[in-house]
Amino acid sequence: MSLTLHMQPLASCGWKVLIAFYENDTPFEAKIVDLSDPAETAAFQALWPTSKMPLLRDDARDQTVRETPVIIEYLQTWSPGPVRFIPGGAEAALDVRLMDRLFDLYVQEPMQKIVGDQIRPAVAKDSYCVAQAPAQLAMAYDLIEARLADRPWAAGEVFGLADCAAASALFYADRVAPLAPAHPNTSGYLDRLLARPSLSRVIEEAQPYFAMFPT
């Protein structure tokens, strides 16, 4: 198998790339990295010292690809399929990339702050960052709600990169700060994402690990 995705099964950023793989039925091997294992950690840090996942290794091209939007764009370039994640037009591509950043930085990031703080020991909790996170999520929800007033997908009429980001981020964020009833457009959008076979498959595969998610 040429393509290997280094990942963790519950990480929303990993889901983002898995959705892209499954949308185009791109063959790959998933490698779950256990960062509690010193040997696995050292091996992964040799590929990417930040220890951030997911990471794509393409042995056929001898390429190591890091960061989710770069990985998805790499797949579109070197393993293309019927779903095109970034459109060819310059303005449309910029809009997709903007929405991708919106979901990654202003939905996923504050959601992760809230969830991460729940699993930390009491002495390591960060009340300041967690106090800011709900306001950041509310701001992002309002932006997304307005954008989705006249479009079925995050950047227009077709599913793309931004929707891969949205599916993973909103799935978890809705558990932390529920969308309905204040954001009906976004809630309906999440329903459309959940109806896609790619996200259904990701969620099904993650089921054995959901007990680790704080409630």
Name which of 145, 131, 138, 128 is nearest 183 in CA terms. Answer: 145
Quick: pLDDT tens for 155-169: 999 999 999 999 999
Q: Residue 112's pLDDT is what? A: 87
101: which 2 tokens?
């950043």
User: Which residue stretches of 87-156 are H helix?
Assistant: 90-103, 109-119, 127-147
Amino acid at 6: H
| Tokens 């009429």, residue located | 157
Pairing between β-strand 55-58 and β-strand 63-66 as defined by DSSP bridges:
antiparallel
Q: Residue 1's pLDDT is what? A: 63
Q: Residue 117's pLDDT is what? A: 59
What is the CATH topology of the domain spanning 3-78?
A: Glutaredoxin (3.40.30)
The H helix count followed by the E strand count for the chain is 9, 4
The overall average pLDDT reported for the chain is 93
Residue 58 CA to residue 213 CA, distance in Å, equals 31
Q: Are 21 and 81 in contact (CB under 8 A)?
A: no
Quick: pLDDT tens for 110-151: 998 887 656 555 555 566 667 788 999 999 999 999 999 999
Residue 213 has pLDDT above 80, yes or no: no
Q: What is the average per-residue pLDDT within 187-215? A: 92
Q: Residue 113's pLDDT is what? A: 86
**pTM above threshold 0.85:** yes
Amino acid at 71: I
Q: Are 58 and 78 in contact (CB under 8 A)?
A: yes
What is the residue extent of each domain of the chain?
3-78, 90-196
Q: Residue 128's pLDDT is what? A: 60
CATH pick for 90-196 out of 3.50.50.60, 3.40.50.720, 1.10.287.610, 1.20.1050.10: 1.20.1050.10
Q: Are 68 and 16 in contact (CB under 8 A)?
A: yes
Residue 147 CA to residue 158 CA, distance in Å, equals 14
| Tokens 């959901």, residue located | 210
What percent of the chain has pLDDT above 70? 92
Q: What one-character DSSP code corresponds to residue 197?
A: H
Residue 163 CA to residue 72 CA, distance in Å, equals 12
Q: What is the average per-residue pLDDT within 38-60? A: 96
Quick: pLDDT tens for 80-106: 999 999 999 999 999 999 999 999 999
Q: Which residues contact 3 (CB under 8 A, 6 or more apart)?
A: 26, 27, 28, 29, 56, 57, 58, 59, 60, 79
Residue 36 has pLDDT above 70, yes or no: yes
What does the angle CA 197 – CA 25 – CA 69 come to, to the nearest 5 degrees? 85
Residue 75 CA to residue 147 CA, distance in Å, equals 27
